[in-house]
Structure 1
Amino acid sequence: MPFAPFALQWRTPFPNPPNPTPVPAGVSRTYIPTPSGPLELLSAIPSNPSPIPPIFFAHGGFGCAEIWLQWMQFFCSKGIACYAMSYRGHGKSWYPSFLRMCFTTRGMMAGDLVAGIKFVEGLERERRKRSEDVKVILVAHSAGGGLSQYILSQGLLKVHAFCMCAAVPGFGSVAVYKFWSWMIPFHFPYRLFHPRHVLATTSQVKSAFFSPQIPLSSVRIFEKLLAPYESLLWPSQMLPSFVNPTALLSNIVGWNRSASSTKPNADKLLVLAAEYDVLCTPKVLLDAAERYMKAFSDMVRRNAILEEGGESEGVRFRVVPGVGHHLMNDVEWERGAEEIFEWLQTL
């Protein structure tokens, strides 16, 4: 084959963390201090804020904070404060060595995500001059969606609302890898067990992440954002079921409206699928949504959640047309952003 395994990156980036690159006007880059190393944080703060709580974006495998830039600018223009972080080994955060990254666990990645959200909660308390907690709206993509389900199910933090955006389901992710099942037995050993063995070429990235209409030139630009190597333990630890749906829903706050509220109870969990997603397909995510709906109904029946009007299933499921797995980077990226904005206005 023309693509040799040695063309992939095996060495830790230098400098570490990598030098920062320019970001659009209105977006700033800072770093979250952690005991392991600094983690990249991008922020977009509106000049005319709306009452909607801040959005925290969590990327998936090989992703980074910069994949969210278009959506950050979109929501910031609507008056919503936006934050996006890069976990260790991604974006402009610190990088473990190749082998150390390969054996980075789900728990370690979860620690980065929790540290990022808690850091932003502190920033927002200070910015809003409030003494009480400020909870974020968590929008999480792909394996980052799986990671987010894990931290909520484990009770590691609470959020105002949660959007699973083309997310790995917490009820087992074997089905997510069916698209690659025929490639892995050959490509994994051929590329010397490198984590990017199924995302080594532009055509592979396009077929897995995007809709058919995106041009290869756009995919090549996107490829520059992908991490050079990835954890093998993080996704493998999500192959079996790892979420308690009742525990997860319990760590989304504010289900119960006050008696004076004119709004019906909100669907505080949005499961967002993409029409052309070949990994977290609409069918896979519909199954996940239905499981969370059942858990919500059980909680209502046990009075764990009060549903005065009986107007909410607690979970909203939507399929965004015309986009692939990386719906925030596809040609028609606005469609997913508009679907989320419509949902935010109901919270």
Structure 2
Amino acid sequence: MTTRVMRSDEWADPPKPVQREVLTEQPDTPQDRPPVLFVPGYGHGAWAFAQHWLEHTARRGFPASAMSLRGHGGSGADPDARLRDYVHDVTQVAAGLPKRAVLVGHGAGALVVAMALARYPARAGVLTAPVFGGVSTALGLLRRNPTGTLPGLFGGRVSLRPAQLFSRSLPAKEAQSYTARLQRVPAGAQRQLVRRQEPETPVGVPPVLVAGSPDDRIVSASALEWVARRYGGSPLLFPGMGHDLMLDARWQEPIDAILDWLEKLPS
């Protein structure tokens, strides 16, 4: 992996400014810990972390924020958004936090975080159920959900099923209500995931943790291993869970493991 110093294309054609939704929870007792910024994946908004992980992280003593990428949740619309626009959003929000933040991304949001790490000197990075794109990811979605995936290859909406996102342990009504909240992703940003993305080297080489489930119906076990190897480690696995770790029935297990890992990092 390498890091580019010159980004003339971004200077010549800067991302469109949009209003960004950021939800925040603070610990009851202030502690000397880095803020944690949660970045949701495609179709999800800050609400996906506000459901469980945001408050739980604050209870564990970490200032916690969750943002919505442009066109998602309560953030401003941008139908022409691309990955670089999402990366811009993350770096801008992170730069506004009082301390160097820990960036936690989920799904395609993990790819956005991985790309942001090359621009922002994060305290650490956490990539959960990372979607780095590629033909194998697209084919896997097509095989499991052809009618919901095929329109996405032609600029239409990808419609995911609850069974692709959650384990059977999550009550069906809950799974359906979360799935119903997923939003349409701009065609350009969606098409970028057909090709496997190769993020640049993080600035300052922060510690990076990769976490996911071997039973994920979107991210294969081999894809998890591939991402983890890029950052010099092995993935932290949660068998029996679905793709949306932060909303599934056993949501507390992965966030506690992530926070335990953060607590062990040297100051």
Match of 2:44 among 63, 74, 78: 63
Match of 1:53 among 19, 26, 34: 34
Identity of aligned residues (%): 24
Output the CA distance in 2 between the equivalents of 1:207 and 1:213: 11
Is the Cα–Cα contact under 8 Å of residues 269 and 316 in structure 1 kept in the other structure? Answer: no
Output the CA distance in 1 between the equivalents of 2:39 and 2:24: 13
1:232 matched residue in structure 2:
187
1:19 matched residue in structure 2:
none
Output the CA distance in 2 between the equivalents of 1:183 and 1:270: 28
Alignment of 1:282-321 (within 5 A): 282-293=221-232, 315=233, 317-321=235-239
Answer with 1 or 2: which has the greater Rg.
Answer: 1
TM-score, normalised via structure 1 length: 0.66
Output the CA distance in 1 between the equivalents of 2:260 and 2:63: 16
Output the CA distance in 2 between the equivalents of 1:142 and 1:178: 16
Aligned residues: 249
Match of 2:121 among 143, 155, 158: 158
2:84 matched residue in structure 1:
107
Match of 2:107 among 125, 142, 147: 142
Residue 332 (str. 1) matches residue 256 (str. 2): no
Deviations 1:68-110 (A, max 9, x none): 02111111111110001111111111223xxxx2x42111222
Deviations 1:243-268 (A, max 9, x none): 23xx22x4344xxxxxxxxxxxxxx2
Is the Cα–Cα contact under 8 Å of residues 52 and 80 in structure 1 kept in the other structure? Answer: yes
Check 1:185–1:277 CA distance in 2 against 1; reply closer, same or farther (3 A cut): closer
Check 1:189–1:59 CA distance in 2 against 1; reply closer, same or farther (3 A cut): closer
Check 1:185–1:165 CA distance in 2 against 1; reply closer, same or farther (3 A cut): closer
Output the CA distance in 1 between the equivalents of 2:128 and 2:75: 23
Structure 2 unaligned spans of 5+: 1-14
Output the CA distance in 2 between the equivalents of 1:135 and 1:210: 32
Deviations 1:140-169 (A, max 9, x none): 0010111111222xx321100000111123
C-alpha deviation, 1:287, in angstroms: 1.9
Output the CA distance in 2 between the equivalents of 1:193 and 1:215: 33
| AA matched with 2:83 | R
Is the Cα–Cα contact under 8 Å of residues 38 and 104 in structure 2 kept in the other structure? Answer: yes
Deviations 1:218-238 (A, max 9, x none): 0122134322x1122224324
Output the CA distance in 1 between the equivalents of 2:151 and 2:238: 36
1:264 matched residue in structure 2:
none
Q: What is the DSSP-based 3-state SS (H/G/I as helix, E as strand, rest coil) of the residue aligned with 1:220?
A: helix
| AA matched with 1:109 | Y
2:142 matched residue in structure 1:
181
